Chain A
Amino acid sequence: MSFWQKYVFSVDHKVIGMQYLLTGILMGVIGAYMSYVFRMQLAFPGKEVPFFGLVTAAEYNALITNHGSIMIFWFAMPVLIAAFGNFLIPLMIGADDMVFPRINRLSYQIFLLSAVILIVSFFVPGGGFGGAWTAYPPLSAKAEYNLTPWGSSLWLLAVALEFVAFLLGGINFITTLMNSRAKGMKYLDIPIVLWMIVIASILFMASVGPLIAGAIMLLFDQLIGTGFFDPSRGGDPVLWQHLFWFFGHPEVYVVLLPAMGIVAEVMTTFSRKKLFAYKTVLFTTIATGVLSFFVWAHHQFIAGIDPRMANIFTVTTVLISIPIAEMLFVYIATLYGGSIRFTTAMLFALAFLATFLIGGVTGIFLGASGADIYFHDTYFVIAHFHYTFVPIAVIAVFAGIYYWFPKMFGRFMNETLGKIHFWGTFLPFNTIFLPLFFTGAAGDHRRIFTYANFPQLATPGLQDLRIIATVSVVILICFQFLFFWNFFYSMFRGAKAGKNPWNANTLEWVAPSPPPHGNFDVFPEVYRGPYEFSVPGRAQDFWPQNEKA
C-alpha cells in the first residue's frame, strides 16, 4: 500500500482515530494559542503581545469566539468521541473495524473540511466572527451589526459541517456497538467507556437536530435576508437561544461522558479493583442523559424568560447534579481499598475527579436562578465551566493517551517526563482559574476587551489576579512542549510494550500492539465482564474477558 492509501485515505478505524486525534490536538493548540493572546491582553492591556502584536477590540472578540468554538467543536469532540471512539470501539468489542468503514472516512474528511473553513474564516475581509461561540442573533445575523460579513457565515458553515461529520460518525458508532460485538459479549460485558461514548453519540444526535435547523435559518438570515430571528420582522432572537442551549447543555454531557468512561478504565486498571456498581454507573449515565434535555434554560435566566420557568429549570438543574455526584462517589468507592499504582495515566484520572468536582459544585451556584442573576456572564462562569471542560478535554484526554499509547504505537511513553508534565498541567490549571472565581465574584464581566474603562474593576488588586492567571497560562503552555516531545519521541524510540502491558482485562489488550489492519489474529470470544480484577482464589489479579474459565 502506498503512503496515501495507508495514512490519508485509509478506511481502517485506527488510522481514522489517529487522524481525528492529531487534527483535534492541532486545533487544540491553536485554541490554546488564542487563549494565550487574549489573556495577555487582559493582563497587560494595550501592550504588544509577543508572537501576535497589538490586539484590537475586534480581534479580541474574534479570538475568544473562535477559542471557545474550537475548544468544544474541534478539540473536545473530535478527541474524546471521534478519536477514542474510533480507536476503541472495534478493538474493545472484538471486531476488525467499524460497520461502515467508508462512511467513517467520509466523516473525518467532512470534519477536516470544516476545520479548514474555520481557519480560513480568520483571513477573509472583515476578519473572523466575533459574536461568541453561542452566536446569539441579532448580532450574529446581520453584517451591519457584527461587521464580519464573511467571517460569520463561514463560522456557521464550519459548525454545520462539523455537526454532519459527527452525525455520520455517531451512526457508525451506535450500529457497530449494537451489532458487531464479539461472540459472548452481552450488554453488561461492554466496557463502560464504550457505553459512555455511544450514549454520548445518541445524546448528540437527539439534541443537535433543532440546532441544525436553526443554523440553516440563521444562515438564511445572514445571506438572503430572511427574518427568522429578527424581532422587527416577527422573528424571535430568544428562540435561537433555546435552540442553541437545547443542544448546548446536552453537549456538555456529550463530552463529559467519554471522559468519565476513560477515567473508569484507567482507574480500575490501576487500582486493581472491580468498577464499583457497574450497573448503577450505566443506569446513572442514562438518567443523566435523559435529564440533560430538561435543564437548558438555566443559560437564559436573564434572557427575559418567564420567571416561573426559571424556577422549574433551577429544580431540574439541581436534580441533574445528583447523578453526577453519585458517579463521583462510585468512582471514589472504586478506589477504596485498591492497590493503587500512581502511573501518569492514574494521576491524570485522579486529578480529573478532584478538579471536575470543583466545576460541578460551582455549577450548583449558577443553577440557582437567584445567584445566577448576579454571576451570569462574569468570570465566575468562565472559571466554573473551565473547571468542567479542562478536566474533560485536557486532563481526562491525557489520562487516556498515556494509558492507551502502548496499544496505539506498541511503545511506552516516558513516565518521568509524564509525571513532570502532569504537575506542569495540573498546578497551573488551578492557578489560572481559581483567581478567576474571585475576579468574577468581584464583578469582572466576561467578553470585555479592556477593563480600563471600568475604574472599579481596574483596581490593582483585581489586576494582580488577572496577571497570575495569565502567567499561569504561559507556564501551562510551556509544559505542553514536554508532552509533545514525549509523544513523538516515544512513538519511535519508547520502550517496547507487549500485548497487555498494564495487565488489563478488556479485549483491546488481546490484540497485538499496535494492532494490524484487522486487529486480531483470532477473533476473541467473551466469557465475563470487563472488570474482574483481584478475584479471590486466582493466582493472577486480573482475568481477561476472553480467557476461558
Chain B
Amino acid sequence: MAHVLVYIDTPGEHLHKTDRELLTLAGMLGEPVVALLGDLTDGVSAELGAHGAGVLYQPAVDGLGELLVAGKAAFLAAAAEEAAADAVLLGNTFEAKEIAARVGIRLSAGVITDAIAVGKDFSVTKSVFAGSYTVNASVTTGRPIITVKANSVEIATPQSGSIPEVRRVDVAVPGAAARITERSERAASGRPSLDEARIVVAGGRGVDGDFGPIEDLADALGGAVGASRAATDAGWIDHSAQIGQTGKTVSPQLYVSAGISGAIQQKAGMQTAKVIVAVNKDPDAPVFDIADFGIVGDLTTVLPQATAEINKRRS
C-alpha cells in the first residue's frame, strides 16, 4: 500500500480540523504516516492513531520552527525520504505552500497547490484563475507533494486505533535561514477560522467602521468574519480577515457579502463559495452579478433583522 505522509505543524492539545481532513484523505489514498514538527501530547497521539496513522516522524533536533520555512522544509524532506513516502500532503496555508515548495526542490519533486480532490493515482483537481477554470493536474517527477484546501474532505469517524510509533529523524539544520525573533499571537475570537469555516460573513467599506452587525450575524450562523481590503486598510478589522487576491481564498457553503462592492480582487477570494448572498445599497454593485440572493438595502437594518429572525426561530 502507498505510504502517504501528512505534514502536521503544531497541533497543541488537539488536531486541527484540517489535520484530520488530511489524515482522512491519506487513509483513502493509502496508509497514513505523519511528520509532526511540534510537541506531541498524549491526546494528539491518540487522535493520530484513531485516524489510522501507524508511524509518526519527529525531528531529532529542536528549534527548526524558528527558522523561517527552511527548517520545517528540511525536516519534512528528511521525513519523506525516511518514510519512503509515495506522496506528501500538507494544508493550504501560505506557509504550508512554501514548505511544500522547498521540499519540492529538495526532493526534485513536483508540487501542486490548492487541491480540492486527489485521486488514487495522486492526480489533483484544483481551480485556477480565481475559480474560472477547474483543472486536473499531476506530478510527473518525484513523489507528488500536494497542498489540500480546507473543507475538501469529509472527515472519517475515528476508529479505535493504537498509539503510533514515534521515530526521530535526523535533520541537517539549514545554515542560510531567516530567524523569527518575535511572535505575537492574535487573541482567539472563539469563531471558526476563515480557512475552515463553512459560513463566512464579510463586511466592506459599507460597514463604516462598525463590524457589529457583521459579527452578530456571523455568530448567529456559527460562521467566521471576513472583510474586504478597504475595511482592513481602514483598520476596522485585522488584516488577517481580508478575503481576496492578496488575502485569503475561501470556498464556504455560504458567503454573505455586506457593504462590499465586489471588485475583481475581492471576487477572486470568494467566488467559489457554494451560495453567495450580497447586501449592498447600490443596485449596480458588481457583487450582484454573482450573488444567488441579493438584497438592495442598508446593511445596518437588513443584517440585524436577519440576526434577530434567526435567533427567534431558534428559541
Partners in one complex: no
